[in-house]
């Protein structure tokens, strides 16, 4: 990927490092604060989960359970709720594998039109990550050893575009660890989150945050227009999962279906046939679209599905259709308007 980095980008990133963190709208260093001595970053091993807002939980569960074949691992009720009925559930946890899941929130979206609640990465040590980010001049919530309601250590920050990013350290006593080996039915259409894609409005700021601060590694760039870059793929520093930055010069008023979760499948034709054979496929057609396989710009076969709220779930093979790698695009990212 080294050939895709140009001198202007290096200069821009240098200027960003020197100036951007002083902006009051930035989630990073507050005005007047001095960064601490840099510390070693803990391991970031993969994507733990991604959360989405849903307007109708039973319909969403029919999509994830009935069509895609996953089990609901556990739920968290709304504050003060005592009953365990569906209308009292605040978060439903859909298990992908022993280390990855999807969280379905029944709350109204916190920042319309974004249906994605947050993205979470697994780290080796939460408190080390908190100290590391602080040493980089990033504002992080105070605390020491606080547990989530599901029994793991975690905290949240915002990336340069305001996307909520969580870091979690799984504990042996946490709910996820206690559910190891359970809720893994053979009906699962995939056993792994391949990547998560989300919108960014400034490629330079995002690359500084995810590459320079968090240590992600660029693996590929692509776009439909040969003159303008559309996507940048960044792999977690200590694993194989990756994120896909969906590039915009300015974030659109409606996010559409750009934010998405990609599930890995080894045989797309077999996966489509399996989905079309399930009873839930008939109800899916009532609000969705037929399953159409296509080869993406990255050369890999894929299929798009949409939950009842229009959130996209992408099935993708991990290899190119012809077995040959697709070169990265050398096009520049969309031009970002000056602040």
| Total count of domains within the chain | 2
Q: Band of the pLDDT at 305, cuts 50, 70, 90?
A: very high
The answer on pLDDT for 192 being more than 90 is yes
Based on the fold, state whether residues 298 and 208 are members of the same structural domain: yes
Let me know if residue 35 belongs to a domain: no
Quote the tokens at residue 121: 């990465």
| pLDDT tens digits, one per residue of 118-164 | 999 999 999 999 999 999 999 898 876 578 999 999 999 999 988 99
The predicted model gives 214-236 an average pLDDT of: 95
- The per-residue pLDDT for 32 is 40
CA-CA distances (angstroms) from residue 309 to 56, 93, 193, 256? 8, 17, 20, 10
The answer on pLDDT for 109 being more than 90 is no
Based on the fold, state whether residues 173 and 194 are members of the same structural domain: no
The answer on pLDDT for 28 being more than 80 is no
Share of the chain above pLDDT 90, in %: 70
Let me know if residue 150 belongs to a domain: yes
Based on the fold, state whether residues 173 and 203 are members of the same structural domain: no
- The per-residue pLDDT for 9 is 43
* Of the candidate ranges 13-22, 63-72, 239-248, the one whose mean pLDDT is the lowest: 13-22
| pLDDT tens digits, one per residue of 308-323 | 988 999 999 999 999 9
Based on the fold, state whether residues 170 and 200 are members of the same structural domain: no
Quote the tokens at residue 339: 């602040």
The answer on pLDDT for 5 being more than 80 is no
Let me know if residue 170 belongs to a domain: yes
Q: Band of the pLDDT at 37, cuts 50, 70, 90?
A: low
**Could you tell me the residue range of the domain that residue 93 belongs to?**
44-178
E-assigned strands of 54-99? 72-77, 89-97
The predicted model gives 95-103 an average pLDDT of: 98
Report the alpha-carbon angle 53-58-60, nearest 5.
45
Let me know if residue 332 belongs to a domain: no
Share of the chain above pLDDT 70, in %: 83
Q: Where would I find the H helices in the chain? A: 7-19, 57-61, 126-135, 175-178, 203-207, 268-276, 280-287
Let me know if residue 9 belongs to a domain: no
Based on the fold, state whether residues 169 and 52 are members of the same structural domain: yes
Which one of 160, 178, 196 terminates a domain? 178
pTM of the complete model: 0.86
Based on the fold, state whether residues 204 and 99 are members of the same structural domain: no
Based on the fold, state whether residues 143 and 192 are members of the same structural domain: no
- The per-residue pLDDT for 181 is 97
Let me know if residue 329 belongs to a domain: no
- The per-residue pLDDT for 6 is 40
Task: Give the span between the Cα atoms of 282 and 183, in whole angstroms.
Answer: 25
Let me know if residue 119 belongs to a domain: yes
Exposed/middle/buried for residue 226 (C-beta within 10 Å: 0-12, 13-18, 19+)? exposed
């Amino acid at each position: 990927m080294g050939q895709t980095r140009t001198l202007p980008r290096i200069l821009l990133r240098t200027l960003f490092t020197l100036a951007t963190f002083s902006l009051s709208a930035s989630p990073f260093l507050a005005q007047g604060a001095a960064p601490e001595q840099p510390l070693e970053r803990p391991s970031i091993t993969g994507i733990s989960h991604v959360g989405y807002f849903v307007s109708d939980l039973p319909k969403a569960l029919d999509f994830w359970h009935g069509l895609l074949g996953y089990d609901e691992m556990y739920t968290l009720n709304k504050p003060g709720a005592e009953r365990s009925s569906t209308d009292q559930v605040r978060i439903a946890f859909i298990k992908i594998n022993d280390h990855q899941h999807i969280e379905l929130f029944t709350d109204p979206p916190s920042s319309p039109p974004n249906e994605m609640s947050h993205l979470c990465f697994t780290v080796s040590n939460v408190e080390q990550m908190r100290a590391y980010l602080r040493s980089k001049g990033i504002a992080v919530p105070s605390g020491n050893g606080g547990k989530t309601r599901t029994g793991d250590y975690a905290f949240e920050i915002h990336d340069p575009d305001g996307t909520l990013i969580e870091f979690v350290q799984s504990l042996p006593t946490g709910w996820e660890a206690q559910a190891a080996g359970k809720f893994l039915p053979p009906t699962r259409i995939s056993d792994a989150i391949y990547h998560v894609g989300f919108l960014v409005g400034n490629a330079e700021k995002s690359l500084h945050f995810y590459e320079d601060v968090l240590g992600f590694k660029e693996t590929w760039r692509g776009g439909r227009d040969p003159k303008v870059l559309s996507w940048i793929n960044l792999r977690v520093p200590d694993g194989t999962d990756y994120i896909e930055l969906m590039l915009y010069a300015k974030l659109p008023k409606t996010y559409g279906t750009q934010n998405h979760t990609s599930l890995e499948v080894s045989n797309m034709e077999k996966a489509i046939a399996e989905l079309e054979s399930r009873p839930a496929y008939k109800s899916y057609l009532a609000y969705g679209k037929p399953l159409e396989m296509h080869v993406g710009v990255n050369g890999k076969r894929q299929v798009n599905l949409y939950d009842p709220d229009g959130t996209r779930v992408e099935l993708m093979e991990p290899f190119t259709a012809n077995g040959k790698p697709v070169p990265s695009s050398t096009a520049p990212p969309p031009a970002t308007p000056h602040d």
